[in-house]
Structure 1
């Protein structure tokens, strides 16, 4: 025990004496621990469970009841989910407070609790119509300033930027006086107005039942359990209650079954994190060993055994790894706890009504402690190779001031070749498997093989040193002479570069595949207005209102297909688009709609449509001049139709579909009714067209074709930034080690007249050699993995070809930019004139 304590004490003193090197090692080891701990704590804190959010949902009430939309059949399940389908508008009558009280039993007290939106000119805010002064609403919102509102008064959340005394001016209603500022317990960035009498409006977009609508908070004599839910659902009420959230009869949620792919993926990720961290921190530990060779030799001369020397160096890994893990874990827990509040308050996503939710601080201790153990293990593994070298050093040679000679292990290149070949074979097999985890696992074998091959690659590429100028020749020969030190840095750069290149190629290929797979039935910029099942008189009113709201905009009509019994049918055909089986719905219309779909007048297509033929924009859908259609209905038998068709060119490159003339559909035994309108028109951002048309009938849908809107993943350049930090940091650490080891050579060069600039070029040449060789090998390895990774990421079946796309600017930045930056960093590194004794 005394030997272990002595080793730890020596390691602690050495770490304090070399604070710069110790800080570098701690950063290398602690950074993964910091990132993973922050992410785990962040996710756990932002996860607001039903139990954590019940006060914000219910206040002190026993239940919240929300009336569903007319024509909705609702069924809530005991597993916590709900499902609702459209039904007859007369299926459910809307109950009043008296009827709801009767359903819940005697001694029930209800207060209004209505949710919707409030129009504020061109903007809007969520609105809650209730009396916050009532005890049932305690905890729903927290009062920050002023008081709770009374009649014709409102309270607002801080995101609206209003203060008590300001006026709020809803569209089409009298101004309301702001008397208080309130905050949601879990949604700090929520834009909400609260008051007992608000001009509420329903949102235009889709929303789930229970999110918006008129309803009540209920104080009941007995709990509202799952046994009461079916009756309340049949009455058109969505229910949320305390008893439902805590009822032991709820269907238990089964834990995920053992997933081999997930375990393999997790194992590959852990191995990669440990490998890259060890390779990056290894040169820094080697720096300590180089500087402590004489100290360790003196301990050996005084009777210290090889076991004692190994323990001293391993104690460095234990002390620095433990300190790095502890600091990183504390910082990660702090960032993961504070970060959600910052993101929830300021990080409102585009198009979102509110920012992310945030719950009470919560730490997943089991995963966090596993990550901490991983960080401690990484420190020990990083110090393992220097510990073995310390135990094998020649004590007499070190005390005499001679550099130790490290013999190469001849078997390592054969092991490396075997691992690379095995990894490549596994990659070929893995690329045919579903999921990308097997390709990543195969890449780990390739990386281990390349790590084992790195010393041989350094020796092989060192043969070119004779052709280089003197400073670069000295750099390369020194790197070859100290290849154990150089190999660790080169392997670290190689592993980071390979990982970033593989992820870059896979992500870019996936983006290009999505872009190529994008397809639409209408040109970009098309406004579509669809009417559901409705009477002819209702459609006539809807069409007239559309023409009034869009003056001067040409409207092309589309037609709905029905059989003789009035059952609605949809005509579709199936074809392959970008290797994926795609089902398209055809349109029925006339020359005006054809001109809109083609973006011009096509005499050939117009003549074919007039003669009763279908006009098709998908070449793969045509077979011998015919288009095969399937007519399907929710209430009638399906039918198969083969109709004559001609091929035409659409307005947009990625546009498909087909247009059928009314005469062709009617010859097949169907009838047609105008229920669609199309126009080449872009609505302004503050347009209220959908809301205005919904006043005529709720069975109307307004949609706009905006084209492919996704942009390349910005995280790709985030990977490049991470690679920049790791590659440049690892290269500079190895360069500082090289500068320390090259003191005799630099002293000799200075003695014979070399300038300080030459010394800097020598050090920079070492950095360029390390980063350049690592980036080149990593580029090749990453390209192989990235190409293999593209297949499972871009294919969806045996007949679907893979999309392989190279992000050339990204690859050039990785392969060329990283070595150049590492070299520039080495050029500005201090390389003072060495004063050393040269052995003659």
Structure 2
């Protein structure tokens, strides 16, 4: 029989004989594999590709078009779309007629209207699709599950709204609509949507996006609409989604060699971190297993077994347990990912057909197998070096530290710190993570020295804790692995927390608006003076007692409307604003108070600017642009004033200044500091006067910190507490003689529990403190590439103190309490008389 087969047979028998320890090793190896495989499968299943979502987007049509607001410069490209609009000072665009759209698409085109927007129902907003689902072009966009498709003054709803056929839907400010059917989206079970052929759509409060909201059409064309047709349609103000674009995309540009290098380095860093974590979690179990098998291995050596044979026996155990754990974890991960996709999708998100990304899944499985074998590598080397005479005599080998290892670890840490300083200046965060790997490996190498150093004050502790710390120091190979595992998890989570929170704070600081929070803006488009007079009167009637400030639009002698814009850097990002035109009443609203100096400057024909960086040498540079007239550049006198809100910018121009530049002005805007109630009918009432009206309410910054931050905390809880308890139970099993001696001389069960809990506190506490230091360095370094937008943009560094305290203090406390309440049975020990 070959050495390999014999080693595998011994490993299988030993694994079955020590089923508890084997199961623990399999859990430590398989848990990361299961989690990563489940996430990969879940992500792939919930990722709906363009081809998979084609029917839900287009139905049976060839193309879907969405009209952009007037003055929008739209440009679609295979890698995305860009569009530039003003700050809303223009009116809503007049919709193209269906015949005009059909003419743009060529002869033989059939067009039906399809518009996306929102309905206000009570205090909430619900997505709405204005379309006739009875038309064959919409087939497949939504599936009828109950009732029938709606006709005029009827709607169908998705199941998430909780309505049934026969119920009434009561939009705010509109007549009730009868629900006649329940429809389901093919990929979005959590979608809350109302569908009908004629809906009182409201303007969305969020930033407009052509792939989300807007009036539009579905079209059946004689020939496919390809990328070569898109520029002309974009020029006409149409956002395009077609089968020809999605099914026949242009060639993907070749990535630069630098991108490939970054991808390889990022993948390598992730692989190293995963293997390192698995090795550190499973390492203590293999170390304890080696001590239990030390006499068996010594007998094999005494009968002629070589050092290579002993190494093969121990490595075979890692191969057997790692293979079994990887196989089970991969199967469970795939099943968990597929089964979890529908559940997660009902909370939010999309779901497509069940898919398994086999290449990365098999890579993770191979990674788990390699990690299981590597975890047994150190015990295998120790087994090959043990002295059979010492072991067979019943004497424990002395634990000796290698004097050069702490120095090597310190050198790696210093090298990692130096690389982090350099990586922090790079635009991609992958270099920071690569530097963090050096720091992690260095700290793992230094950990045995840290354990010995921190164990010196153990003599001052009370007896249970003294026994715990001294046992941990005596078995440094077992303790160091567990401490390093906690350190790696803590460092990773703290780094991610600091980076994510810094990014959130940077986004919050980058938020800006040309109007203060709470301001209501009403904009009229191209219309006659008589129509504007009616619109203004209706607004005053709908808002009794609310002071209204006037705003004006600029136009040239030919009637072309112009937007007066300027550019400024806000929090490192270039921002383009549209200057408002008004009088002192509007200035008072923008500032939230009376400012005599700003009012005097406005009356004197100067622009009042709330962006100090935009004013140079007392001048504000404006660019006057129009869809019909030639652009112009203007330098106007300006003064800087303080706005109402901290994040507010913008500028106000007096009418006289605009008219001196050769433009005429006309009142087409109204502003008020007023918050509309949820059941307001203002939009419906104003659109009865004219459809060319837009209403916007400035709500201020409303984003919240990334909830995924606490998801990282949950993952850390599983790994830290699980790894600590695993190491603690192994230590408890290793400390049976000591605990038996303590029980024999009268130690209470509570004292024995404190001894075990002391191990958990020492392991998790030391690992958390070291991880805090490493994670803080990496997190601060991550904040720069995650929050800077240019060489001159300073980094935003923000520490989520509650999150950090929960990780560094909360997790060790939870691990200690879990160890304290865990029952550790003490078997009867045979003692010689």
State the TM-score, normalized to the length of structure 1. 0.85
Pick which of 633-642 and 489-498 moved more: 633-642
Aligned pairs (5 A) from 1:291-440: 291-344=292-345, 346-348=346-348, 356-440=349-433
Pick which of 277-286 and 295-304 moved more: 295-304
Partner of 2:621: 629
Partner of 2:88: none
Partner of 2:99: 95
SS at match of 1:529: strand
Calculate the aligned-residue CA RMSD, in Å.
Answer: 4.1
Aligned pairs (5 A) from 1:271-670: 271-344=272-345, 346-348=346-348, 356-563=349-556, 566-573=559-566, 575-580=568-573, 582-621=575-614, 626-634=618-626, 635-645=629-639, 647-670=640-663
Contact 1:739-1:831 within 8 A present in 2 as well: yes
Q: Distance in 1 between matches of 2:476 and 2:724?
A: 14
Give 1:449 shift: 1.0
Distance change (3 Å), C-alpha of 1:649 and 1:421: same
Give 1:426 shift: 0.8
Q: Distance in 1 between matches of 2:569 and 2:111?
A: 56
Give 1:448 shift: 0.9
Q: For 1:485-537, what per-residue CA distance to the aligned partner results, in whole angstroms no more than 9, with x for missing partners? A: 11111111111121122222222222222223333332211112233444434
Partner of 1:104: 108
SS at match of 2:107: helix
SS at match of 1:682: coil
Q: Distance in 2 between matches of 1:327 and 1:686?
A: 55
Distance change (3 Å), C-alpha of 1:502 and 1:839: farther
Q: For 1:406-457, what per-residue CA distance to the aligned partner results, in whole angstroms no more than 9, with x for missing partners? A: 3221211121121111111111111111122211111111111111111112
Give 1:745 shift: 3.0
Contact 1:650-1:656 within 8 A present in 2 as well: yes
Pick which of 38-47 and 294-303 moved more: 294-303
Aligned pairs (5 A) from 1:746-757: 746-757=739-750
Partner of 2:678: 685
SS at match of 2:758: helix
State the TM-score, normalized to the length of structure 2. 0.86
Contact 2:119-2:201 within 8 A present in 1 as well: no
Q: Distance in 2 between matches of 1:632 and 1:231?
A: 24
Aligned pairs (5 A) from 1:722-801: 722-801=715-794
Distance change (3 Å), C-alpha of 1:23 and 1:541: farther
SS at match of 2:521: strand
Q: For 1:698-748, what per-residue CA distance to the aligned partner results, in whole angstroms no more than 9, with x for missing partners? A: 543322221221222222222222222222222222222222333333333
Distance change (3 Å), C-alpha of 1:129 and 1:778: closer
Q: Distance in 1 between matches of 2:569 and 2:246?
A: 46
Give 1:114 shift: 5.1
Unmatched segments (≥5 aa) in structure 2: 86-90
Q: For 1:338-394, what per-residue CA distance to the aligned partner results, in whole angstroms no more than 9, with x for missing partners? A: 3332333x224xxxxxxx332222222112111111111111111211222222223
SS at match of 1:95: helix
Give 1:119 shift: 6.1
Q: Distance in 2 between matches of 1:139 and 1:608?
A: 61
Q: Distance in 2 between matches of 1:85 and 1:623?
A: 25
Distance change (3 Å), C-alpha of 1:238 and 1:740: closer
Q: Distance in 2 between matches of 1:507 and 1:78?
A: 30
How many residue pairs were aligned?
A: 817
Give 1:215 shift: 5.6
Distance change (3 Å), C-alpha of 1:18 and 1:449: same
Q: Distance in 2 between matches of 1:657 and 1:66?
A: 33
Q: Distance in 2 between matches of 1:617 and 1:70?
A: 26
Give 1:655 shift: 2.5
Contact 2:164-2:179 within 8 A present in 1 as well: no
Partner of 1:24: 24
Q: Distance in 2 between matches of 1:459 and 1:342?
A: 48
Contact 1:223-1:242 within 8 A present in 2 as well: no
Q: For 1:436-479, what per-residue CA distance to the aligned partner results, in whole angstroms no more than 9, with x for missing partners? A: 22111111111111111111122222222233333333322222
Pick which of 38-47 and 111-120 moved more: 111-120
Q: For 1:91-112, what per-residue CA distance to the aligned partner results, in whole angstroms no more than 9, with x for missing partners? A: 965329999999329xxxx796
Contact 2:58-2:64 within 8 A present in 1 as well: no
Give 1:275 shift: 0.9
Aligned pairs (5 A) from 1:27-42: 27-42=27-42
Q: Distance in 1 between matches of 2:525 and 2:343?
A: 44
Q: For 1:233-275, what per-residue CA distance to the aligned partner results, in whole angstroms no more than 9, with x for missing partners? A: 699999877676655xx52334655512222222212211111
Q: Distance in 1 between matches of 2:792 and 2:80?
A: 37
Q: Distance in 1 between matches of 2:695 and 2:118?
A: 21
Give 1:693 shift: 3.5
Contact 1:735-1:763 within 8 A present in 2 as well: yes
Give 1:47 shift: 3.0
Unmatched segments (≥5 aa) in structure 1: 349-355
Distance change (3 Å), C-alpha of 1:288 and 1:175: same
Contact 2:174-2:200 within 8 A present in 1 as well: no
Q: Distance in 1 between matches of 2:606 and 2:500?
A: 43
Q: Distance in 1 between matches of 2:570 and 2:681?
A: 35
Contact 1:74-1:238 within 8 A present in 2 as well: no
Contact 1:282-1:382 within 8 A present in 2 as well: yes
Give 1:167 shift: 6.5
Give 1:403 shift: 2.0
Pick which of 491-500 and 234-243 moved more: 234-243
Contact 2:33-2:330 within 8 A present in 1 as well: yes
Contact 1:508-1:806 within 8 A present in 2 as well: yes
Pick which of 397-406 and 453-462 moved more: 397-406
Distance change (3 Å), C-alpha of 1:188 and 1:710: closer
1:830 is aligned, of 810, 823, 827, to 823
Q: Distance in 1 between matches of 2:83 and 2:610?
A: 37
Q: Distance in 2 between matches of 1:565 and 1:223?
A: 39
